[in-house]
């Protein structure tokens, strides 16, 4: 099984006529069993077609054309228009919104997240590459073209959650090479405020029978790792978690930030060293190198049985 999406998930691509969105649409259609992209939205482009996907002016038109509610949307519109696009999707009954767009002001993200909460919907991102269920479906640019994604991702027992889109693929590829497939890999985005954090995705993986372990990619900055450590301590999770922390060098440069906007040295407990300590306290193994991860995962899965 998987979390968030499966082969039956219907979704639209908002901003579908943009260059990156056209590629992303192709990739998703080609990958696995082929994504059910039931429409695309670009205002003023009603009647066009992107790789066989009908383009509409509004989300409402896409829903009407589909004849049933649409599960998800991949949003790739420019930052100034993202909030409106996401609001439109949410108000039209979309329950899962993957926001690819980068550089969205925090206030807009907070508003989108708040509205999603009121609708019982979920946001992944912004500034993320989306979700992939190996060999089944992908929603977003994650893993790249179908042929490339197939090299890195394979089905199996590991749930992957990463603040870096590229590192989602790097870590999954390392697992795949070691014979450990992935149940679902989620690129959650690197911004200071994101729709779904590690701790918020954990209950989904917890409920997924196929998932036996979790691998996460983390960076300094923010409090998401501390939040995950708290969740794990409070919920007695059945899933062993192995983490990799990049950007340790930033501890020697207080007051500075690197990488994603959320990679911020915000205070003592947001440093790499402090996060590693917190994760360790909660029983989460922090690998020194990515190549160590598969062995640790296997060992931890074996120890649970």
Closest CA to 33 of 134, 129, 131: 134
Give the tokens for residue 100.
């690819």
Q: Which is nearer to another protein, 192 or 301 (CB)?
A: 192
Closest CA to 198 of 186, 213, 211: 186
| Contact pick of 150, 178, 192, 285 for another protein (by CB under 8 A) | 192
235 among known catalytic residues: no
CA distances from 97 to 91, 144, 200, 283 (A): 12, 19, 15, 32
Establish whether the linkage from the previous residue to 236 is cis, with ω within 30° of 0.
no
DSSP letter, residue 210: T
- SS3 for 14? strand
Closest CA to 79 of 45, 127, 34, 130: 127
The window from 38-46, 66-74, 169-177, 295-303 that contacts another protein (CB under 8 A) reads 169-177
Show the site string, 28-67: x = touches another protein by CB under 8 A, - = not: ----------------------------------------
Residue 150 engages another protein in binding (rule: CB under 8 A): no
CB of 56 to another protein, least distance (A): 26
| Contact pick of 7, 61, 233, 257 for another protein (by CB under 8 A) | 257
**Cα 282 to Cα 218: distance, rounded to the nearest angstrom:** 15
Residue 273 engages another protein in binding (rule: CB under 8 A): no
Q: Which is nearer to another protein, 35 or 109 (CB)?
A: 109
Q: Which is nearer to another protein, 39 or 220 (CB)?
A: 220
Closest CA to 172 of 129, 229, 209: 129
Closest CA to 257 of 195, 190, 198: 190
Secondary element (H or E) of residue 163: none
Query: Considering only residues 76-115, where is the footprint of another protein by CB under 8 A?
Result: 79-80, 103-107, 109-111, 113-115
| Contact pick of 138, 260, 275, 278 for another protein (by CB under 8 A) | 260
Show the site string, 122-141: x = touches another protein by CB under 8 A, - = not: -------------------x
Query: Considering only residues 231-250, where is the footprint of another protein by CB under 8 A?
Result: 244, 246-250
Active-site residues, by number, are 260
């Amino acid at each position: 099984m998987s979390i968030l999406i499966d082969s039956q998930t219907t979704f639209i691509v908002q901003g579908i006529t943009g260059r990156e969105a056209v590629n992303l649409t192709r990739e998703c259609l080609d990958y696995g069993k082929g994504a059910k992209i039931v429409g695309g939205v670009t205002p003023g482009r009603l009647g066009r077609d992107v790789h066989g996907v009908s383009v509409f002016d509004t989300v409402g038109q896409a829903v009407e054309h589909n004849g049933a509610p649409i599960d998800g949307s991949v949003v790739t519109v420019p930052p100034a228009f993202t909030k409106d696009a996401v609001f439109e999707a949410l108000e039209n009954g979309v329950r899962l919104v993957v926001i690819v767009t980068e550089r969205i002001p925090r206030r807009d993200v907070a508003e989108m997240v708040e509205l999603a909460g009121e609708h019982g919907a979920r946001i992944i991102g912004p500034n993320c590459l989306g979700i992939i269920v190996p060999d089944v479906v992908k929603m977003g640019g994650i893993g790249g073209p179908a042929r490339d994604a197939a090299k890195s991702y394979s089905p199996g027992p590991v749930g992957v959650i990463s603040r870096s889109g590229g590192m989602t693929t790097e870590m999954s590829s390392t697992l795949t090479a070691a014979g450990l497939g992935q149940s679902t890999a989620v690129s959650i985005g690197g911004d200071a405020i994101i729709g779904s954090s590690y701790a918020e995705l954990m209950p989904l993986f917890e409920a997924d029978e196929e998932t036996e372990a979790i691998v996460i990619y983390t960076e300094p900055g923010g409090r998401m790792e501390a939040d995950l450590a708290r969740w794990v301590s409070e919920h007695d999770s059945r899933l062993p978690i192995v983490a990799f922390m990049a950007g340790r060098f930033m501890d020697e440069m207080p007051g500075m930030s690197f990488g994603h906007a959320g990679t911020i040295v915000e205070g003592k407990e947001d440093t790499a060293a402090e996060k590693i300590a917190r994760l360790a306290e909660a029983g989460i193994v922090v690998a020194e190198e990515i190549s160590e991860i598969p062995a640790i995962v296997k060992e931890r899965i074996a120890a649970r049985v």
